[in-house]
Amino acid sequence: MSFPSDAIAALATPVGTSAIAVVRASGAQVPALVTAIFGETPPPRLARHADYKDIAGRLVDDVLFTFFAAPNSFTGEDTVEISCHGNPFIAQRILEDLFARGCRPAEPGEFSKRAFLHGRLDLTQAEAVMDLIHARSERALTAANQQLRGSLGRQMDSLISQLINVLAMVEAYIDFPEEDLPAEDRAAVLRSLAQLKTDTNRLLATSHYGAMLRDGIKTVILGEPNAGKSSLLNRLVGRERALVSPEPGTTRDYLEERVLVGAHALRLIDTAGLNPSPTSLEQRGIEKTLEQAAEADLFLWVIDGTRPLPVLPPATAQRLTPENTLAVFNKADLGGGQVSVPTLPFPTLRVSALTGLGFDQLPPAIAQLADAFQNQVGSEIIAINARHAHALEQARACLDSAATKLADGVDTALVASDLRGTMDAYGQISGKIDHERVLDQLFATFCIGK
């Protein structure tokens, strides 16, 4: 794998006016660059106050700058971070001066890519940097921090170590073909492959939870027209996001808002009422409600507490379980309740969207359901992304193929080929293989300066 030799520079803080902006440069030329600009290269990790003068000697700003010596920097290269006043014009002047002095503009994610190339991060940790930046909830932040500290990398190292032991045993018989693989050894290899598949499946099972952490838990509010769905949305959002009217069927299309509930981020979706006798326009809204319900993670089933319990469409009713549904009986201020709450298999809550009665209990009740989605592998929260899932599915397919061939007595060399395919798939996750196109595509999703 080739290592970059040139110096790169970029703004490390968001574009816009702020108290300070940070410009970062990395590469072997940085010590000479720092000396040329500030007259010295100070000891590493010691912030210095100085005037920044451009290559023509004109004062740009008074700044704080910190030098980080290789390999003890984020990228593993000599690095400097320059903190200037947060005027975008000042930051741009500094960047243009660095380019004039020989740096080039950093590509998206190039600082993190260099950290990976110099062994400062594995791929799972590099991806965790972006998860940390974009975390929308406490639970997402916890998962990103654990992955940044190597939680998924440790899981992959364990799988790779197990696989190496199996592969060594199988390849020993390829090197010594006169010794056939005894039946008892085949059984031992099959047991090892079964354990590898179990551990692989455990990681794959966290894929959906990872999507929920990154995008939010898809929470659909459903119920009959005029049950109070939009009023409940407005209460949870804290503003009048949806129009509310005594006239049934006000909501004809779904509305989506993101909210924090406890440690969780929710994609809260208000839907058209499930009217058993809809107009043609209502029917189109109901069809969209059913589409959203088919993909929901959580349901808030809003029920008019003054009316009999409604009947849900069969396909939607099948999706509702005690683990993913909270039945919210609205209009508690009217003293209604013709339906006996204990007859429902779901957690229930009585509220009044009009007065706010019972709404203090709603967020904790939703959070309790959301807590059950958490996937832990050992003591760590693991939440793989789509790239990890694709590689693990490849690994599982190779393990299945190897086990089938081994059980059928197929040539050992073909079994070893499948196991090497498994190794290659595992290696894609942590970056233990040299696939530069994969790396380029991955780091291109990062922001400039990261």
User: Annotated binding site for Mg(2+): which residue ranges?
Assistant: 230, 251
Q: Residue 108, preceding bond cis, omega within 30 degrees? A: no
- Beta strands, E only, 58-120: 59-68, 79-86, 104-105
List the binding residues.
Answer: 24, 81, 120, 226-231, 245-251, 270-273, 330-333, 450
* Type of residue found at 338: Q
Query: What type of residue is 178?
Result: E
Give the N- to C-terminal CA distance of the chain in Å, as an integer.
Answer: 21
Give binding residues for (6S)-5-formyl-5,6,7,8-tetrahydrofolate as ranges. Answer: 24, 81, 120, 450
Find the farthest-apart pair of alpha carbons in the chain and give their distance in angstroms, rounded: 86
CA distances from 365 to 220, 251, 372 (A): 15, 25, 12
Ramachandran sector of residue 76 (left: φ over 0; alpha: ψ -120 to 50; beta: rest): left
Measured CA to CA, the distance from residue 124 to residue 212 in angstroms comes to: 18
Which residue positions form the known binding site for GTP? Answer: 226-231, 245-251, 270-273, 330-333
* Calpha distance 192→200 (Å, rounded): 12
Amino acid present at 443? F
- What letter does residue 42 receive in the DSSP assignment? P
Helix (H, G, I), strand (E, B) or coil at 82: strand
At 76, give phi and psi (nearest 5°): 85, 0
How many whole angstroms separate alpha carbon 406 and alpha carbon 385? 31
Picking from 373, 374, 393, 392, the residue whose alpha carbon sits closest to that of residue 382 is 374
Residues 6 or more apart whose CB falls under 8 angstroms from that of 275 comprise 224, 225, 248, 249, 282, 286
What residue spans of 297-377 are helical by DSSP H?
A: 314-319, 362-371
